[in-house]
């Protein structure tokens, strides 16, 4: 059976549309790298108490790099995300300090 | 007897603070409780200030969604919101964009525009108001009559309202919130009252984190995780610090002593 070129084209369009609709909506093509990094780094605030000191330090370092990237953005985006990055970094720093104090307290 | 002495002492401190600051605090009507006037740039742009009512928003969204993910500050004017920010889809414009909102579960009016005609100006005056309208009061009364009652504040017991399924505030917004792991709630703890005879405070992490997550309070408001690490007094709380950042402004007021001082002897 000979396939019509128009039919193949329509089928291709349909397959692409199905694949796109099945893909997760975020992080596929819309989000810039700084936003993906933000979502990954600041997704851990709810479980910050479960992290080790080394893991918290890594998250703080990632926040500091992210902060530099956010500072390059347009004013509105910078204002919103700088605050969000700082809130998230400050929480990690706060949990880290508390854990350090707890270890020092136990040692004394 | 000691409890009465403590309550009198608290009232005396409150009155003294009001006297010292040179003004008598007006008792707010239930519909006014939690209202914030935002005037960072409005008047410069020839618009009246924005009168924001917490009650009409907290039925839809948790404190955390707005004050962490959307980025609103905890004090009026601290966010420095500009119309252009809203137009780009930030702050109010996150939901108020003329589209179907996942938070409000309906199409919500657009917040700001660069240019507007006389008809469109009516939309501006939904938020930018010279004085409170009776329509807003009526909206509040209609909403409040369906809600569980509370003694003070805006007269609505929000905790019960959520428990009864009358409100279901959204905590995560796709495209705005970072997808978080489930919050592991820290245990409740008690704080010793400083006056003999006054019941100790039971602080519930569960009740607070369900709407606030961690970042709203730590470290900006409370710098100590370890119990007793942050030292504060009722005077400071009455001044709007610590618990007073929310309680007496939006959450139930501090004059409702037994809501916090609730430990049974």
Instruction: State the DSSP string of B226-246.
Output: STTSS---HHHHHTT-GGGGT
Residue B213 to residue A45, Cβ atoms within 8 A: yes
Asked if A44 is an interface residue toward chain B (Cβ–Cβ < 8 A), one would say: yes
Residue B226 to residue A44, Cβ atoms within 8 A: no
A-chain residues within 8 Å CB-CB of B85? Answer: 76, 79-80
Contact A93, A100 (CB under 8 A): no
Which token pair is B104?
Answer: 């409000």
Name the minimum distance, in Å, from the CA of B69 to any CA of chain A: 7
Q: How many CB atoms lie within 10 A of CB B43?
A: 11
The confidence score (pLDDT) of residue A26 equals 45
pLDDT of B214 strictly over 60 = yes
Which chain A residue's Cα is nearest to B226? A98
Interval B236-258: pLDDT, tens = 999 999 999 999 999 999 999 99
Class of domain B2-28+181-259 as given by CATH? alpha beta
Residue A87 to residue B220, Cβ atoms within 8 A: yes
Domain boundaries for CATH 3.90.10.10 within chain B: 2-28+181-259, 35-141
Taking domain B35-141, whether its CATH number is 3.90.10.10 is answered by yes
Nearest Cβ partner of A88 from B91, B186, B215? B215
Residue A80 to residue B224, Cβ atoms within 8 A: no
Mean pLDDT of chain B: 89
In angstroms, the CA A39 to CA A22 distance is 21
**How many whole angstroms from its chain centre is CA B96?**
19
| Residue B199 three-state SS | coil
Mean pLDDT of chain A: 85
Interval B145-196: pLDDT, tens = 999 999 999 999 999 999 999 999 999 999 999 988 788 888 888 888 888 8
Contact B40, B77 (CB under 8 A): yes
Interval B9-62: pLDDT, tens = 565 655 555 555 545 567 889 999 999 999 999 999 899 999 999 999 999 999
Model-wide pTM > 0.90: no
pLDDT of A11 strictly over 70 = no
B-chain residues within 8 Å CB-CB of A45? Answer: 180, 213-215
- Find all residues with CB under 8 Å of B132, minimum gap 6, and list them: B31, B32, B35, B51
Nearest Cβ partner of A49 from B71, B182, B184? B184
């Amino acid at each position: 059976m000979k396939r019509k070129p128009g039919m193949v084209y329509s089928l291709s369009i349909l397959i692409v549309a199905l694949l796109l609709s099945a893909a997760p909506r975020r992080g596929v093509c819309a989000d810039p790298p700084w936003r993906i990094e933000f979502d990954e780094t600041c997704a851990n605030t709810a479980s910050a108490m479960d992290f080790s000191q080394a893991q918290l330090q890594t998250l703080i370092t990632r926040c500091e790099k992210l902060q530099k990237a956010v500072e390059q953005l347009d004013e509105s985006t910078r204002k919103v995300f700088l605050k969000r990055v700082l809130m998230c970094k400050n929480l990690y720093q706060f949990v880290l300090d508390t854990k350090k104090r707890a270890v020092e307290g136990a040692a004394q | 007897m000691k409890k009465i002495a403590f309550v009198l002492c608290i009232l005396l401190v409150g009155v003294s603070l009001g006297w010292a600051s040179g003004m008598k605090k007006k008792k707010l009507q239930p519909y006014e409780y939690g209202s914030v006037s935002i005037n960072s740039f409005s008047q410069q742009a020839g618009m009246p200030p924005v009168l924001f009512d917490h009650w009409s928003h907290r039925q839809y969204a948790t404190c955390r969604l707005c004050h962490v993910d959307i980025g609103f500050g905890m004090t009026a004017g601290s966010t420095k919101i500009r119309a252009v920010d809203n137009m780009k889809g930030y702050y109010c414009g996150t939901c108020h964009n003329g589209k179907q909102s996942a938070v409000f579960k309906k199409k919500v009016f657009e917040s700001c525009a660069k240019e507007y005609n006389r008809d469109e100006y009516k939309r501006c005056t939904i938020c930018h108001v010279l004085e409170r309208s009776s329509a807003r009061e009526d909206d509040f009364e209609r909403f409040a009559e369906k809600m569980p009652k509370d003694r003070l504040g805006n007269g609505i017991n929000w905790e019960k309202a959520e428990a009864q399924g009358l409100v279901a505030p959204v905590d995560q917004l796709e495209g705005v919130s970072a997808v978080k792991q489930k919050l592991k709630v820290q245990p409740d703890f008690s704080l010793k009252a400083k006056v003999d005879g006054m019941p100790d405070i039971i602080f519930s992490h569960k009740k607070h984190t369900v709407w606030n997550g961690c970042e709203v309070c730590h470290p900006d408001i409370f710098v100590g995780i370890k119990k007793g690490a942050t030292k504060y007094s009722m005077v400071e709380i009455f001044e709007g610090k610590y618990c007073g950042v929310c309680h007496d402004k939006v959450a139930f007021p501090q004059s409702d002593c037994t809501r916090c001082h609730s430990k049974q002897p």
